[in-house]
Amino acid sequence: AVDAGIQHCSSNCHSPYIFQNMYKLAICSLLAGSAVAFAPSSQRGASSSSVLAAADLVKGPYENELGAQAPLGFFDPFGMTAGQDREKFERLRWVELKHGRIAMLAVVGYLVTYAGIRFPGAEDIPAGFAALDALPGQVVAQMGFTLFLMEAANSPTPGTYNDFKPEFMGDFRNGALDFGWDNQTDEWKKKKRAIELNNGRAAQMGILGLMVHEKLGNLDSILPFQN
């Protein structure tokens, strides 16, 4: 399998540095596997137990929480939730949810402007990073003021509007936007929240990929509809 992967990379990767790094990574993987294979069984058992114990410590009481889903399950490689109380965990979940929502808006905005769609009066504003230097000062001020109002309205302690009580951090219906949410089952709500989390995670990777490819100069290879 390693040989097949190396042959595939050598025929498809255009940079010799990428091939060299892939080859080194494959060799290191083989060496690590060999070391484990020839280690005494007692050491292998102890090592496996240590890894499992560390994984359980990181999981803590949150391995079955919303967001721990296929294909990775509970994924916290840096152990940020280890030993944290419920309040801290909920705050981390809210931060992830917020970043995901912003990233989804960013991906949509990036693709729309890259396709040449503009508001009236902004036809000369380029897409991508070039727009940062081309935006008029008034537009930047309007954006900043809008962000301030949004942060103030959706504060960390929502619920001051219409005596609305949020179900979770990030529930900003405020008694105005519902779309039948309160009439749904808990299972349906959990599914929808999981979908939003997954879409937000994908969007964070998506906007990062778009920015990287723009800086690499090959964005037209993956977005051929530039206008």
Supply the DSSP string of 16-81, one letter for each residue. Answer: HHHHHHHHHHHHHHHHHHHHHHHS-HHHHHHHHHHHHHHHHHHHGGGTTSTT-BTTTBS--TT-TT
pLDDT score for 216? 94
CA distances from 104 to 92, 107, 128, 201, 204 (A): 18, 5, 15, 9, 7
Residue 173: exposed, middle, or buried by beta-carbon count in 10 A (0-12, 13-18, 19+)?
Answer: middle
Q: Which phi and psi (to 5°) does residue 19 adopt?
A: -65, -40
pLDDT band at residue 208 using 50, 70 and 90 as cut-offs = very high
pLDDT in tens, 6-39: 444 444 444 444 444 444 444 444 444 444 444 4
pLDDT score for 68? 85
Q: Measured in whole angstroms, how far is the alpha carbon of residue 51 from the centre of its chain?
A: 26
Give the Cα separation of 193 and 207 in Å (integer). 21
pLDDT band at residue 227 using 50, 70 and 90 as cut-offs = low
Give the mean pLDDT of the chain: 76
CA atoms within 13 A on the CB side of 132: 2
Res 146 pLDDT > 50: yes
pLDDT in tens, 48-64: 455 444 445 455 678 88
pLDDT in tens, 62-92: 888 888 887 788 888 888 888 888 888 888 8
Answer whether 13's CB lies under 8 Å from 22's CB.
Answer: yes
Answer whether 82's CB lies under 8 Å from 57's CB.
Answer: yes
Give the Cα separation of 188 and 194 in Å (integer). 10
pLDDT in tens, 174-193: 767 778 888 899 999 999 99
Give the Cα separation of 13 and 28 in Å (integer). 20
Q: Which residues pair with 107 in a beta bridge?
A: none
Tokens (6 digits) for 201: 């995670």
